Structure 1
Amino acid sequence: MAFENILTEVNDGLGLITINRPSKLNALNKATIQELHEAFKAFDSDSTVKVIIVTGSGEKAFVAGADISEFANFSEEEGGKLAAKGQELLFDFVQNLSTPVIAAVNGFALGGGLELAMAAHFRVASDNARMGLPEVSLGVIPGYGGTQRLPQLVGKGRAMEMIMTAGMINAEEAKTYGLVNHVVSQTGLLEFCKDIAGKIMKNSPMAISKAIKAVNANYEDGVNGYEAEIKAFGESFGTEDFKEGTTAFLEKKKPQFTGK
């Protein structure tokens, strides 16, 4: 895949997406959001890709926010459409992807950058990472899911403080809050994420995709998460991966999952 604003590669079942706008600290503009959508969609459709890692180029930033120059003169209607389209194309899309997505947060993850990291299934941060939602300092609010996902991850009080102060927290604070799972050195970030990806790849892709769907169901209005779990659990029994996993366990051998 050839893109202008991102880099992609696949190695041994791992899809890597690198946001590559270093002169803009990897800020998200409409073109980059579209390219990210296409890359995530392609990787999710590729049966050889078992895990996706998303990160930013360079050592300064994962994504330092949205490209403000694109929407500084928008009307109310245009602003609403911008948020709706972005959530549909990227942020909700990533959250509901059937392939696991790990955000490798290197450096600044602000505004839309933090919102992208939060849309991933979990996050690992470099020790120089700084995270925040500074939108209210610009007279606007987070529009790519930040007001919803941040409270889910860190609790209402901490989310309110972060949003209202427009301040940043460091990597260790983010770990304490539950916003990131691990903090590692900048140089070891990708290898650490690849190690976790390797552990994920040993398991059933079909079961993982159903687990993602069941967990997400708990955060959907009008959806009973327990019922979604029961349904997905039952469906698992009809998969080849279930037969392979249980047979391998009983025969004391390693399963060879196909994702079917």
Structure 2
Amino acid sequence: MTTGEHPVTGPWETLDVTVDGPVATVELNRPDRLNALSPLMQQELHQVWLAYDADPQLRVAVVTGAGDRAFCSGADVSTVADTSRNRTSDYDRENNFTPVQAGIRKPTICAVNGVCAGAGLHFVSDCDFAIAADSATFLDPHVNVGQVSALEPIGLSRTVPLGHLMRMVLVGKGERITAERAEAIGLVTEVVPAADLRKRAAELAAMVAEGSPEAIAISRQAVLESLSLPHHEALRRGFVLLRAHADHHPDAQEGPRAFAERRPPRWQV
């Protein structure tokens, strides 16, 4: 792995970002605070996503946590209770630390290595898909510390059945979901032994990186845009995106040509 060769690698105070070929690994790095989200971490994450999106050599990012105890224990409670902070009700200003919030076009994978609580669920919701170590657990304790749980469950409502989601929100810290149950209800797509988590995330990232970067970006756009459109309108919009790529982007011709010639494709970057 390499560091210091890309803007995405920092240096950062709250993150450890490494690059291995086309894959960036973004590690939440406050293990003494169970990788809790601080205002500085949120700012640094926003900068990382923008740098990742702007680097044509990077094709996929993995998000995980430092240590073996926690992926992310949520927002740093000491900062949540700080009324002196200049907070607003502007969603776009206050929430830009996840890939979706930052508006990036590239894929991301969440690798949950331990406790994932509260605001940590943003990454499970906002990455393209998530995997988990068999030791991972998930909970939403917002209501137990007098906070409203809104953004994380709204994001997760697209993948998790409503009853399971509402139970998680309302029972709060009393509802600790195991990795196996998280897979069963759609929080994560795969559970692996803790010792194999990073290896498996790297394998999945490598597979994603093999695809056409532009085809992946437009595929993500088509799916994500469809969530806010009526079904038929979403299909019509998806077809417009599909045809524009097929008719005008060189990757649409390079892919079939490489397949016929039995060679790796040379994607435009």
Structure-2-length-normalised TM-score: 0.88
Corresponding residue pairs, total = 255
In the other structure, the counterpart of 1:202 is 210
In the other structure, the counterpart of 1:116 is 123
Q: CA deviation at 1:22?
A: 0.7
Instruction: Please give the residue correspondences for 1:9-88 in structure 2 after superposition, counting only pairs within 5 Å.
Output: 9-74=18-83, 78=87, 80-81=89-90, 84-88=92-96
Instruction: Please give the residue correspondences for 1:148-227 in structure 2 after superposition, counting only pairs within 5 Å.
Output: 148-166=154-172, 167-220=175-228, 224-227=233-236
Counterpart AA for 1:217: E
In the other structure, the counterpart of 1:236 is 245
Structure 2 residue runs without a partner (length 5+): 1-9
In the other structure, the counterpart of 2:16 is 7
In the other structure, the counterpart of 2:6 is none
Q: CA deviation at 1:222?
A: 7.4
Counterpart AA for 1:19: L
Counterpart AA for 2:263: K
In the other structure, the counterpart of 1:250 is 260
Q: CA deviation at 1:114?
A: 1.2
Please tell me whether the aligned partners of residues 124 and 187 of structure 2 are also in contact (alpha carbons under 8 angstroms). Answer: no
Counterpart AA for 1:18: E
Counterpart AA for 2:204: I
Counterpart AA for 1:211: S
Please tell me whether the aligned partners of residues 62 and 108 of structure 1 are also in contact (alpha carbons under 8 angstroms). Answer: yes
Moved over 4 A (4+): none
Name the Cα RMSD after superposition. Answer: 2.0
* Matched position secondary structure for 2:47: helix
Q: CA deviation at 1:146?
A: 1.0
- Taking a change above 3 Å as real, the CA distance of residues 253 and 84 of structure 1, as seen in their structure-2 partners, is closer
Please tell me whether the aligned partners of residues 29 and 66 of structure 2 are also in contact (alpha carbons under 8 angstroms). Answer: yes
- Of 35-44 and 66-75, more deviation after overlay is shown by 66-75
Please tell me whether the aligned partners of residues 98 and 122 of structure 2 are also in contact (alpha carbons under 8 angstroms). Answer: no
Q: How far apart, in 1, do the equivalents of 2:194 and 2:237 lie?
A: 38
Counterpart AA for 2:100: D
- Of 250-259 and 226-235, more deviation after overlay is shown by 250-259
1:45-103 per-position Cα deviation (integer Å, ceiling 9, x unaligned): 1111111001100001110110111121439x93635x553423436325x42111000
Please tell me whether the aligned partners of residues 91 and 115 of structure 1 are also in contact (alpha carbons under 8 angstroms). Answer: no
Structure-1-length-normalised TM-score: 0.91
Identity %: 29
Q: CA deviation at 1:181?
A: 0.7
Structure 1 residue runs without a partner (length 5+): none
